[in-house]
Structure 1
């Protein structure tokens, strides 16, 4: 694309809008609850689109299309697993978590805790007076979010390098400054409102690109034929395809391990703190059903479009396939540059920046919240004034961003980094969240064992499941880590203390409050 003026102008306008939202929300941020959960007043559409935008990240526009470009339709198994996992998380977690985090009894004061973070919820839900569970969960959040945010900065480096020839470190610096600026100012509401705009932009971009490419290739039928010409198995959902030296080849039937590993991504939704925060921040349990419908519809269609981007890329670049380390993850960028005029390309490529920013801002905020709420206020100054906590939260946003920036400079592909962080949260928090919400007698000892067991397995498994290692099966670390987490939680739970009557009463109250109530006109109103 020779004329980049339209793209540059679009990016500048986009970043200015994001910053303006942060400045506007800044005036409405007076307490830590405002900064961390927006005062629990998100309506259904905002909660749904914000959850989706913060969830999908650059993986949706780079990682998933890149996987489909290399492997064909078989890459869609990840999307199937994610769609099912997202639906179930809204169905069985959202309402109970929303009510439970607000009404559970504070372990220190005996009053309703109104827990602002997952770590705080764990401490009060399990009446943990040792502080071990809250501290351990906060550490897990900070560690894996540094990895997760670094993946977003790597994506920013790829984007700016591909578009403008800007070196990766410089591009990452631009990205981190933009993300930190409005997150620092506006907190949760700024993140949520910007996520809505970013989610709409991402969905629109993923629809336009494959449709435009198919038209240029002569229509859907011609596109399918051209994809099949490269390798018959590319359009087979159960066919394993190999890509080497610019060509594809079918190598057999996709194995059970590969399918299980892909579907296992869906379990991650039960333990992602930045998504659980949307469940906690929605205005009421009554607003959950509409949010679920919006969220699942957006997610399922967006992932289908993303797979389509990778597939049409196979046909479009048949004569000069994308190769090299990680280059397949630029297929969306390449198609936009080659198919569309500068001004429209700028709008669609801003969708990648939107994906990067919408996820990184949410993750920075959750990591900052853990440092502020679970370490500073809980362990250093419980009576700190509200605005001091807000400013400490803002300072820790910068601190986490700096660590993530340093990690991003070490390199790695977007998909690899996202996969590891996603598994880390899914396996450490997912089982504990589900058991906390559905097992009345689940205690803090079982929760701590499950949390640490899942996190450690995610860190260890990739190092032993390698060629020549203890295992050599290629199983996604989510699977063994979730199994270990559930087993340790159940076993250790029987050796732990019996939950008190207060804990059991809170459980019963949360379950009752989360039950579907007769719908009122205001429950889902934007």
Structure 2
């Protein structure tokens, strides 16, 4: 159990995901007699499908780029850094993770892109995809593969969910148990008691998640984009500024997190300018951190010395 289990399961799940995302578009292309034929079918359906900027204005492009800001504030991603035994391993980890991410995203885009060609040639099989385009991978897997192979490919969806869910549950349970329950309610709690509290928190968080996901009208991308913006705007600026600016204070960090989360919630309700809410959330949270930190007392010498020591160690790699 614990972090080691999450690391091993993530490795297996990532392997399954990349296998499924590459095999599916390849099978679609073979079923359509080659990539040239697939592109012709896609162009015949709508020539704009070959234009990656179709229907995008400057606000939409900025919003899409804004997704990158979310990485800095995701607990399940930040927790991965616990696996690094020192800052020297970060460079190789960066290469591996970026390579995996590029390949997976390319595979996911290819599934959707060549799915246009397949369902254009087989409109009688496009019923579920017509009502919900997010089912394209599921439908292609069931149509193109033997049921045994399709079952393995469809488990890649669960792998994508579980790789995030396992770490999210671990982080949430640990935060509630170690940062809330023990400091404020039971300072003298035994390790056995903390373990049981952690288990109960995992169960409670799982139940809340099931309730939130029970609405059949919800779409995966919509839920993910909202959560991505909330975490990214609340925690991303704090993480980045704490690494780059030794003058940040505790109050600045706290206000920044509150402002970032509140901005995302409010912006989502009103959808001003059709701009993705993480961008104003990230901006306002950063401004709040700088303003509140400069208004308050500077951090102690012990804190600034620790910052300078960590920076010197990192630069000496």
TM over 0.5: yes
Q: Which residue of 1 aligns with 2:61?
A: 259
Q: Does 1:409 align with 2:214?
A: yes
8 Å contact kept, 1:455–1:481:
yes
Q: Does 2:200 align with 1:400?
A: no
1:347 and 2:152 correspond:
yes
Residue 392 of structure 1: SS of its match in structure 2? helix
Map 1:42-191 onto structure 2 (within 5 A).
Answer: 186-191=1-6
Q: Is the 8 A contact 2:129 2:139 kept in 1?
A: no
Map residues 68-467 of structure 1 onto 2, 5 A cutoff.
Answer: 186-240=1-55, 254-318=56-120, 319-320=122-123, 321-322=126-127, 327-411=132-216, 412-465=218-271
Give secondary structure in 2 for the equivalent of 1:329: helix
Per the alignment, residue 523 of structure 1 pairs with none
Equivalent-residue separation in structure 1 for 2:187 and 2:313 (angstroms): 29
Tell me the secondary structure at the aligned position of residue 494 of structure 1.
Answer: helix
Does the CA contact (< 8 Å) of 1:326 and 1:413 recur in 2? no
Instruction: Determine the C-alpha separation between the residues in 2 that align with 1:514 and 1:225.
Output: 52
Aligned partners of 2:80 and 2:192: how far apart in 1?
Answer: 23
Q: C-alpha root-mean-square deviation of aligned residues, in Å? A: 1.5
Would you tell me which structure has more helix in proportion to its own residues?
2
Quote the offset at 1:265 in angstroms: 0.3
* Aligned CA distance change for structure 1 residues 502 and 460 (closer, same or farther; 3 Å): same
Contact 2:129 2:136 in 1 (8 A): no
Q: How far, CA to CA, are the matches of 1:332 and 1:222 in structure 2?
A: 20
Map 1:467-486 to 2 at 5 A: 471=272, 473-486=273-286
CA–CA distance in structure 2, aligned partners of residues 357 and 498 of structure 1: 42
Contact map agreement 1:213 1:312 (CA 8 A) in 2: yes
Unpaired runs of 5+ residues, structure 1, are 1-185, 241-253, 466-470, 518-526
Deviation, structure 1 residue 325: 8.0
Separation of aligned partners in 2, 1:283 and 1:355? 26
Report if the CA contact (8 A) 1:372-1:392 is conserved. Answer: yes
Deviation string, structure 1 residues 124-168 (Cα, Å, up to 9, x no partner): xxxxxxxxxxxxxxxxxxxxxxxxxxxxxxxxxxxxxxxxxxxxx
Moved more, 403-412 or 315-324: 315-324
Distance in 2 separating the partners of 1:236 and 1:338: 27
Q: Which residue of 1 aligns with 2:300?
A: 500
Structure with greater contact order relative to length (CA < 8 Å, sep ≥ 6): 1
C-alpha change, 1:381 and 1:512, in structure 2 (3 Å) is farther
For residues 191-214 of structure 1, the C-alpha deviation after alignment (integer angstroms, 9 at most, x for no partner) is: 111111000000000000000100
How many angstroms does 1:338 deviate by? 0.6
Find the counterpart in structure 2 of residue 62 from structure 1.
none
Count residues with an aligned counterpart: 313
Among candidates 291, 308, 314, match of residue 514 of structure 1: 314
Tell me, in whole angstroms, the C-alpha distance in 1 between the residues paired with 2:59 and 2:131.
23
Q: Is the Cα–Cα contact under 8 Å of residues 285 and 514 in structure 1 kept in the other structure?
A: yes
C-alpha change, 1:487 and 1:325, in structure 2 (3 Å) is farther
1:15-46 Cα offsets, whole Å, 9 max, x none, are: xxxxxxxxxxxxxxxxxxxxxxxxxxxxxxxx
- Distance verdict in 2 for CA 1:296–1:326, change over 3 Å: farther
The answer to whether the 8 A contact 1:268-1:426 is kept is yes
CA distance in 2, matches of 1:486, 1:332: 38
Conservation of the 8 A alpha-carbon contact between 2:79 and 2:167: no
For residue 295 of structure 2, give the secondary structure of its aligned residue in structure 1: coil
TM-score (norm. length: structure 2): 0.95
